[in-house]
Amino acid sequence: MKKMSLAIGMSFLAQAAFCMDGSVEILGRGTVEKAPEFVEMQVRVTSLCYEKPLMAQEDNAKLAEKILGVMKAYVRTEKDKLLASGGHTVRQTEYTSDSDGRSKILCEQKWRTSNVLTLQTEDMDSAAKIQEKILETLTEEEGMHPGETQQTYAELEQPAFAVYPETYSAMKKEAQAKAWGDAVGQFKGFLEQCKLQNAKLAKISEPEYFGLAKSSPLNEEVGAPIIPDSISVSANWKFVWTFDPTACFR
């Protein structure tokens, strides 16, 4: 019986401390989900260990053109895009690994250049077919060859499914509105438990957003692409109200 009385007393003190503080902090949460609108596929083309920079650039451009030829077939709508972002041409020492995994020098102070080819297409169902055609085009140029010096090769990245920037902006606004609604609902629930006097909204924090416009690969290695059901964006929004707490005890 004494233990029960002590527990009730501690519970009352905790509630009193909460009300006597004269403030309440509420975190509103909201989440919005949308189906992906396009798939983004990237291929990185690298040329390394060349004696002359022009030779590296020419070989890089030849392989890049072969891959772009495959990608162009899937630019079918006004929003589909095909991009090529050339990297710097630099002289540097390149390293690789031996059969035991130990690092070793592949070449010293030779020329390297690179290109990143990006396809954005709304034809998401063809992602696997695009992968297959790109890999067929590469034949011997897929991945780095640790035993060769002067070489040009390509690496196919995992596809990413995404929504357009304008869709993502709209999703953030909708998530923010849901977070506001959630916070209001929580505040009304608090009012039912504690009749506040002179309640004032004292602080509104900047909304925090979680989620990306682009999905993360489900596997590290390139495999059959899986289209996610949705891309999600969440918003957290914090509000602080001050009030006269004495009404809580009347």
Amino acid at 98: D
Q: Confirm whether 10 is domain-assigned.
A: no
In a shared domain, residues 97 and 129: yes
Whether residues 154 and 172 fall in one domain: no
For residue 14, being part of any structural domain is answered with no
Tell me if residue 72 falls in helix, strand or coil. Answer: helix
Residue 17: what pLDDT?
Answer: 31
Question: What range does the domain containing 217 cover?
Answer: 22-35+164-249
Same domain, 58 and 141: yes
Along the chain (250 residues), what's the average pLDDT of each consecutive run of 10 residues?
33 36 87 95 95 96 94 94 92 87 90 96 93 86 74 92 95 96 89 76 92 67 73 94 69
Instruction: State the pTM of this model.
Output: 0.76
- Provide the 8-state DSSP code for 241: E
What Å distances lie between residue 23 and 28, 171, 243, CA to CA? 16, 31, 6
Annotate 158-210 with three-state secondary structure: CCEEECCHHHHHHHHHHHHHHHHHHHHHHHHHHHHHCCCEEEEEEEECCCEEE
Q: Is residue 97 part of a domain?
A: yes
Cβ atoms within 10 Å, residue 6? 10
Q: What is the pLDDT of residue 2?
A: 37
- Pair (44, 156) in one structural domain: yes
59 is a domain residue? yes
Which residue, of 161, 192, 226, is where some domain finishes? Answer: 161
Q: 96 pairs with which residues across the strands?
A: 104
Phi, psi of 124 (to 5 degrees): -65, -30
Q: How many domains does the chain have?
A: 2
Contact 95, 54 (CB under 8 A): no
